[in-house]
């Protein structure tokens, strides 16, 4: 950390940031071009003299894009709230209480989070189909538990462990029951960690593709990733609309990442780094 950054370093940094961001910048530039300029010679000129919003308009007029956004929002929000809630109990127990089999349970949670989705999809699909839950919000919220719950438990355990044990001891001395200790002492201190977990779980549910693709096939219930992936024109792929939709999906994410980058980084690295 004490190393000084020279001018060459900043040049490297700018090149690096540009390379990482280039696909987005190009897509952003393409999204405001008139359709005719997306093909032929003009396709490789980043700027246009005829800036237009027609692609953006078309995304909402010709495709049920607003519906996709709403579906994603509903599914991801409910999934996040319920997964984090259920996981917080388990994580508290694993991090703070003494009982046998904790390591085994944590190992189980970790291995479940590594399950390939494809290995669970056939029974889940058949059960949901028989229950009439395909093409419904619940049809996605239920299977999303497979990855959101282990992820939440795993992250929350590391956050709960960071809270000093002394506080808990002090509360117990004062005669607080374990549940009181949890609600009055641990939970307020754990809120930043819970919030971070919620962000990461929300992103993972928002981005999920395989379950969304197979279970909710109806336009009424498609989520954003599937909706965009299925954008089809009459003869060719409608690149204008695709780029516009990509920008619409990316901009809120960029804002979220800028706002919460510290938290996201702490969440991403918390399970992976031993301090």
**Residue 138 binds other proteins (CB under 8 A):** no
Name, in order, each residue with C-beta under 8 angstroms of 218's C-beta and a sequence gap of 6 or more: 135
Contact positions with other proteins (CB under 8 A) in 46-85: none
Contact positions with other proteins (CB under 8 A) in 78-117: 86-87, 89-90, 92-95, 97-100, 102-103, 105-112, 114-117
Least separation in angstroms between residue 250's CB and other proteins is 6
**Residue 5 binds other proteins (CB under 8 A):** yes
Q: Candidates 59, 69, 133, 153: give the one binding other proteins (CB under 8 A).
A: 153
Residues touching other proteins: how many (CB under 8 A)? 104
Provide the H-helix boundaries in 32-117.
Answer: 54-61, 65-96, 102-113
Question: Interacting stretch for other proteins, rule CB under 8 A, among 7-15, 63-71, 132-140, 189-197?
Answer: 7-15
Residue written as token pair 């754990």: 190
Residue 231 CA, chain-centre distance (Å), reads: 22
Coil, strand, or helix at residue 232? Answer: coil
Q: What is the DSSP string of 243-260?
A: HHHHHHHHHHHHHHHHHH
Q: Hey, what are 34's tokens? A: 């008139």
Question: Interacting stretch for other proteins, rule CB under 8 A, among 6-14, 47-55, 60-68, 184-192?
Answer: 6-14
Question: Interacting stretch for other proteins, rule CB under 8 A, among 47-55, 56-64, 137-145, 188-196?
Answer: 137-145
Angstrom distance (rounded) from CA 44 to CA 8: 30
**Residue 173 binds other proteins (CB under 8 A):** no
Q: Candidates 38, 84, 140, 201: give the one binding other proteins (CB under 8 A).
A: 38
Q: Hey, what are 144's tokens? A: 């999303």
């Amino acid at each position: 950390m004490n190393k000084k950054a020279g001018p060459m370093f900043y040049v490297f940094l700018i090149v690096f940031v540009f390379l990482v961001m280039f696909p987005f910048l190009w897509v952003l530039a393409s999204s405001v071009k008139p359709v005719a300029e997306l093909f032929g010679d003009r396709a490789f000129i980043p700027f246009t003299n005829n800036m237009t919003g027609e692609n953006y308009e078309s995304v909402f007029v010709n495709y049920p894009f607003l519906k996709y956004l709403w579906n994603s929002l509903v599914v991801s929000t409910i999934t996040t709230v319920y997964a984090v809630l259920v996981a917080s109990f388990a994580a508290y127990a694993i991090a703070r209480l003494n009982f046998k089999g904790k390591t085994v349970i944590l190992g189980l949670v970790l291995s479940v989070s590594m399950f390939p989705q494809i290995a669970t999809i056939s029974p889940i699909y058949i059960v949901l189909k028989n229950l009439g839950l395909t093409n419904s919000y619940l049809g996605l919220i239920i299977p999303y538990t497979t990855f959101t719950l282990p992820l939440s438990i795993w992250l929350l355990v590391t956050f709960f462990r960071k809270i000093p044990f002394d506080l808990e001891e002090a509360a117990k001395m004062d005669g607080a029951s374990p549940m009181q200790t949890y609600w009055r002492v641990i939970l307020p201190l754990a809120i930043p960690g819970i919030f971070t977990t919620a962000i990461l779980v929300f992103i993972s549910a928002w981005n999920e593709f395989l379950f969304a693709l197979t279970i909710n096939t109806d336009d009424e219930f498609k989520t954003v990733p599937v909706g965009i992936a299925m954008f089809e024109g009459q003869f060719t792929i409608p690149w204008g609309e695709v780029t516009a939709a990509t920008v619409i999906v990316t901009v809120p994410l960029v804002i979220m990442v800028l706002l919460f980058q510290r938290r996201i980084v702490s969440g991403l690295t918390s399970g992976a780094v031993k301090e």
